[in-house]
Structure 1
């Protein structure tokens, strides 16, 4: 049971970190900012502008290796996104001077 919680924690942290990087950071050498600019106003660009949408798409490939079956995958996928959203809300509540 311990490894399931460990996988959930690592997965949630990974989804938040990658989602936050793509959504709100410039990245090393401004690569992520350039990627967002190149995505423009198309579907990919709109997805990058929405943390909720982005976390859902980032969570899918993270959930795949952690899941033990299809039902587990379809429960884990939105759970990881939801955990990332909760972390993003907590991060935003800290205010700009804290991050």
Structure 2
């Protein structure tokens, strides 16, 4: 009962990769620790890695997958599998993108919304 199966171990480790990666890339942390790191010289030197969830998930997964790995091949496979799972979780939990069109009140480009007398011919454009 106390033994963790391979699948549940993978899921727990992958969720840990997601949580750590989300913390490093998207949160301020307690006492704004991550915010201070991002603003420091270290943060400026590693700003691309700290801003990219996909990049950081590889590094975090590489560290997490050291524990269950029995060799180089299992470590490499575990790294990519945990990183991929973390990326899927991040995309699933991300807020949906809302695309709205803002019409300029001075000029409308949609001829169907214009009054019949204001309709321009194609030659006038």
TM-score tier after normalising by the smaller chain length? 0.7 to 0.9
Q: Distance in 2 between matches of 1:30 and 1:93?
A: 23
Name the counterpart of 1:85.
87
Q: Deviations over 1:31-66 (max 9, x none)?
A: 1111111111x2x11100100000000000100101
Return the TM-score normalized by structure 2: 0.69
| Matched ranges for 1:19-34 at <5 A | 19-34=21-36
> Over aligned residue pairs, what C-alpha RMSD do you find?
1.5
Would you tell me which structure has more helix in proportion to its own residues?
Answer: 1
Q: Distance in 2 between matches of 1:37 and 1:12?
A: 28
What is the total number of aligned residue pairs between the two structures?
Answer: 92
The structure showing larger relative contact order (alpha-carbon pairs under 8 Å, at least 6 residues apart) is: 1
Superposition misfits of 4+ residues, deviation over 3 angstroms = none
Return the TM-score normalized by structure 1: 0.85
Q: Structure 2 stretches of 5 or more lacking a match?
A: 98-125
Q: Structure 1 stretches of 5 or more lacking a match?
A: none
**3-state secondary structure, aligned to 2:70:** coil
